[in-house]
A and B are shown apart, each in its own frame.
Chain A
Amino acid sequence: MIVEATGLHKAFGSTKVLEGVDLHVAEGTVFALLGPNGAGKTTTIRILTTLLRPDLGSVRVAGHDVVREATKVRGVISLTGQSVAVDDQQTGWENLVMIGRLMHLGRPAARRRATDLLERFDLVDAMNRRVKTYSGGMRRRLDLAMSLVSQPKVIFLDEPTTGLDPSSRTTMWDAIKDLVSSGTTIVLTTQYLEEADRLADRIVLINGGKVAASGTTDELKSQVGGDRLDLRFAAETDVAHAAALFDAPRGTDPLVLGIPSDGSAEHLHRVLDDLRIAGVPVVKVSSHRPTLDDVFLSLTTTDRTPARV
């Protein structure tokens, strides 16, 4: 495990932000911290990246303790925070070379690295312009490039695509996938389920400062039930009829009945046969796999039972 956090607690004054968070991230994987606003995602990232001390609990990153060996940890990680951290009054080139120098790369190496990164993030044309003239997407790209100067072992990305347009978001996702294929470990936070679903090998869902669920996306999805067939009818009497036939509870939509399924064609045949024999006309059938949305809603909504079964 390249990142191991156990029993993290953090309070700001009387506000408890983290109440016992455990995280284990395997080397070379993408790990997503998913949760609503205020769940404690950023606080967790700040502790993992040595910026904040936990009140209780311990974290080791690449074998080093984040409190006692902060400098060693800082040598192998990089952080891309929620808001872009670049100097607006410096050019893209100057920003990158500065970080290279601060990572003690030596001047020629820092310059080579800056050139490579400018090419990789499609910023060569803008390299000698001050960053204040960059577009939002360009700033975010430079921001990520600055995090890669040191070729870190673990990259922490705090909501990397918040506020980006769809095409910049796709570019960012591609950049993240590239990093993973080169063996880098990535820890990211996100509010977007689609992002976690696409990128992450493992997801920890946190809510109210505690881990609400963890696992692969498939494991999380199976926690809220398996596949389902949604049957749409023309009339409510038909729905009632079918509900009695399959002994299934009615959902929120009065014209739709959801019944549990194993996803097989055979089951679908059987359902349609049963309906034909009973003389209930079905208008439309759709098969539904639970999404992370279902997981998210069912786990983060405290006083509501899972929306559908």
Chain B
Amino acid sequence: MTTIAVHGGARNAVSDSLTMIGRSIRLSRRNVDTLIMSIVLPLLMMSLFVYVFGGAIDTGTQYINYVVPGIILLCTGYGAASTAMSVADDMTSSMIDRLRSLPIRSSAVLTGHVAASVVRNLLSTTIVIGAAIAMGFRPNATVTDWMLAAGLLLLYVLALSWLAAGLGVIAKSVESASTLSFLMLFLPYLSSAFVPTHTMPSFLHAVSENQPITPVIETVRSLLTGTSIGNTGWIALAWCAGLLTGSFILAAWLFRRRTNG
């Protein structure tokens, strides 16, 4: 009998997570739907907003300079739906029993999905920015601005991915996971992503000003176009950090509750 190091230590925890991350990335690379979602959707959304709606929306600047952060966050929302669905797929398959009967911290399963989600978002965000530049987007940002914007987006993507993972855990099926993630797709429309919020009726204006997406978008937009941020940056950071902490704890708790019968 081979002896196996069963209990943990930090090295095993890291190696388990890396193995599960490798698995999730392989699975999403091979899942045609997810791949199309990550590659084609950003291109479609960019074209739709820039060429179809953009001409009719007055933002006081070039619309393409206005809309890029919004498209990035919209794609993150769609990506989150994929994440919720792939987590639900695992939770409802017999694979989860096999993984849970191994001497690993079984939440590594979720870590794998979240990391794959970050990689998919990196891909779609790169595509959005590339397409935007091809369509005439001219960012005016220093290296520091780019890094700050990337850091904030990473926090937002992590927060949304853990939230999606939590939704995937409680979903009874892959279909219901997709339904539960609907709100994450919808929120960007109720923000300053595509139109300035002052054009909305006052109650919607209040909603859009007090949800996480508006400050994140405003901050990224200011960083990329080189305009002043004011305190929006801190509000965005607070939202993202709070959301990330909350959704991480929630997802881990839901996972334990679902898997400890």
Chain B associates with chain A: yes
Residues of chain A whose beta carbon lies under 8 Å from any beta carbon of chain B = 46, 49-53, 71-72, 74-79, 81-87, 89-90, 94, 98-99, 101-105, 130, 146-147, 150-151, 153
Contact of A86 among B7, B95, B104 (CB under 8 A): B95
Contact A85 B97 (CB under 8 A): yes
- CB-defined contacts of B98 to chain A, threshold 8 Å: 79, 81, 85, 99, 146-147
- CB-defined contacts of A79 to chain B, threshold 8 Å: 97-98, 101
B8 → chain A closest CB, angstroms: 7
Given known contacts A72-B7, A81-B94, A104-B12, what 20 new A-B pairs fall within 8 Å (CB)?
A: A46-B261, A49-B101, A51-B97, A52-B261, A71-B6, A74-B102, A74-B103, A77-B101, A82-B94, A89-B30, A90-B27, A90-B30, A98-B22, A102-B16, A103-B102, A104-B4, A104-B6, A104-B103, A150-B4, A151-B2
Residue of B nearest to A89 (CB): B30
1/0 contact trace for B1-38 toward A, CB 8 Å?
11011111000100110011011001100110000000
Contact of A98 among B4, B7, B23, B97 (CB under 8 A): B23
Contact A102 B30 (CB under 8 A): no
B93 within 8 A of A: yes
Contact B101 A78 (CB under 8 A): yes
Contact B8 A71 (CB under 8 A): yes
Contact A89 B26 (CB under 8 A): yes
Contact A51 B261 (CB under 8 A): yes
Q: Which of A74, A94, A102 has the largest count of B CB atoms less than 10 A from its CB?
A: A102
Contact A87 B12 (CB under 8 A): no
Q: How large is the interface on B (under 10, 10 to 19, 20 to 34, 35 or more residues)?
A: 20 to 34
Residues of chain B whose beta carbon lies under 8 Å from any beta carbon of chain A = 1-2, 4-8, 12, 15-16, 19-20, 22-23, 26-27, 30-31, 93-95, 97-104, 259-261
- CB-defined contacts of A146 to chain B, threshold 8 Å: 98
A53 to B103, CA, bound (A): 17
- Asked, given contacts A71-B8, A81-B97, whether A98 binds B102 with beta carbons under 8 Å apart, the answer is no
A82 to B93, CA, bound (A): 11
Interface of A, helix, strand, loop or mixed by DSSP: loop
The contact sample of 30 A-B pairs, CB cut-off 8 A, is A53-B260, A71-B6, A72-B7, A74-B6, A75-B4, A75-B6, A75-B7, A78-B101, A79-B97, A81-B98, A83-B94, A85-B93, A85-B98, A86-B95, A87-B23, A87-B95, A89-B30, A89-B31, A98-B19, A101-B19, A102-B19, A102-B99, A102-B102, A102-B104, A103-B4, A104-B12, A104-B15, A105-B2, A150-B4, A151-B2
A104 to B15, CA, bound (A): 8
A130 to B29, CA, bound (A): 13
A181 → chain B closest CB, angstroms: 15
A86 to B23, CA, bound (A): 12
B28 → chain A closest CB, angstroms: 9
A292 to B190, CA, bound (A): 68
- CB-defined contacts of B27 to chain A, threshold 8 Å: 87, 89-90
Q: Which of A76, A84, A87, A104 has the largest count of B CB atoms less than 10 A from its CB?
A: A104
A52 to B100, CA, bound (A): 11
Contact B26 A90 (CB under 8 A): yes
B87 → chain A closest CB, angstroms: 14
- CB-defined contacts of B93 to chain A, threshold 8 Å: 85
Q: Which 4 residue pairs of A and B lie closest in terms of their CB atoms, listed nearest first?
A: A75-B6, A85-B98, A85-B94, A74-B103
B12 → chain A closest CB, angstroms: 6
Contact of B23 among A46, A84, A90, A130 (CB under 8 A): A90
